[in-house]
């Protein structure tokens, strides 16, 4: 079967630009199997070019949103992401990024100024209220630097006028969620709680993947 670079769920089209990620989250759907919602998202033939992905998108107005979200962290493909987002906007579509918030570390620069005007929404996975909890849950390659970088990225999104929000998975428990809520309020960024995706067959649908 050919690699899947774009996949449809509901009214949205999702883009699977990379399998690289700076985290190894304990709850990641990638750990549960080869497929997500029936789509095999492991890339066996390498990462797709922006042109290939844009050709597969076609007319973006056929979808509610074009979402950068696959089996990996999309900001590893920042240049391609920016080009695709520009094209989607030029053709009247809407864009969203689902990110672990480590794009500044990954790219060695502040990326929110580049995202400004190109993304209609930025979903930043917060998932923990402090660095130690984050490291335990998400096992970032950047170690203790990951969490403050994530918060810094969120603040940078806000400064740059991006429509950004934090998300947490409900598996972290009520007390951690409330601490995340307090942190989100302090940062001035909304928080959304989404249902954890369980192994296939037991899964509740994610509220916001």
Place of tokens 């979808």: 63
In the complex with ligand SF4, the residue whose CB is nearer, 138 or 154, is 138
**Stretch binding ligand SF4 (CB under 6 A), from 21-29, 108-116, 160-168, 173-181:** 21-29
Is residue 20 a contact point for ligand SF4 (CB under 6 A)? Answer: no
Q: Could you say which of 7, 50, 57, 72 contacts ligand SF4 (CB under 6 A)?
A: 72
In the complex with ligand SF4, the residue whose CB is nearer, 93 or 180, is 180
Distance CA 26, CA 203 (A): 16
Distance CA 112, CA 102 (A): 11
Is residue 194 a contact point for ligand SF4 (CB under 6 A)? Answer: no
Number of residues interacting with ligand SF4: please give it, by CB under 6 A.
11
> Tokens representing 124?
């930043």
Is residue 143 a contact point for ligand SF4 (CB under 6 A)? Answer: no
Is residue 24 a contact point for ligand SF4 (CB under 6 A)? Answer: yes
**Stretch binding ligand SF4 (CB under 6 A), from 24-32, 45-53, 109-117, 142-150:** 24-32
Footprint of ligand SF4 on 121-140 (CB under 6 A): 125, 138
Q: Could you say which of 6, 75, 95, 100 contacts ligand SF4 (CB under 6 A)?
A: 100
CA dist 158 → 47, 87, 116, 189, 190 (Å): 30, 24, 10, 8, 11
Nearest to 105 by CA among 143, 132, 68: 143
DSSP-assigned states of every residue in 91-135: TT--EEEEE-S-HHHHHTS--HHHHTTT-SEEEEE---SSHHHHH
As measured in angstroms, the least distance from the Cβ of 140 to ligand SF4 is 9
Strand 12-15 and strand 6-9: pairing? antiparallel
Is residue 81 a contact point for ligand SF4 (CB under 6 A)? Answer: no
End-to-end CA distance of the chain: give it in Å, rounded. Answer: 24
For ligand SF4, the binding residues (CB under 6 A) are: 21, 23-25, 28, 30, 72-73, 100, 125, 138
């Amino acid at each position: 079967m050919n690699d899947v670079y774009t996949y449809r769920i509901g009214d949205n089209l999702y883009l699977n630009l990379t399998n690289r990620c700076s985290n190894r989250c304990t709850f990641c759907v990638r750990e549960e199997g080869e497929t997500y919602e029936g789509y095999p998202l492991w890339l066996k033939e390498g990462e797709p070019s922006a042109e290939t992905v844009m050709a597969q998108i076609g007319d973006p107005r056929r979808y509610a949103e074009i979402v950068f979200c696959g089996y990996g962290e999309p900001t590893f493909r920042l240049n391609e992401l920016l080009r695709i987002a520009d094209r989607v906007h030029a053709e009247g579509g809407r864009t969203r990024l689902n990110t672990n918030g480590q794009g500044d570390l990954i790219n060695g620069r502040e990326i929110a100024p580049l995202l400004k005007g190109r993304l209609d929404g930025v979903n930043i996975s917060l998932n923990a209220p402090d660095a130690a909890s984050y490291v335990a849950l998400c096992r970032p390659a950047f170690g203790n630097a990951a969490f403050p970088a994530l918060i810094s990225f969120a603040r940078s999104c806000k400064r740059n006028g991006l429509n950004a929000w934090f998300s947490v998975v409900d598996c972290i428990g009520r007390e951690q969620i409330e601490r995340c809520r307090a942190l989100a309020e302090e940062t001035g960024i909304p928080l959304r709680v989404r249902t954890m995706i369980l192994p296939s067959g037991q899964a509740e649908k994610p509220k916001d993947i």
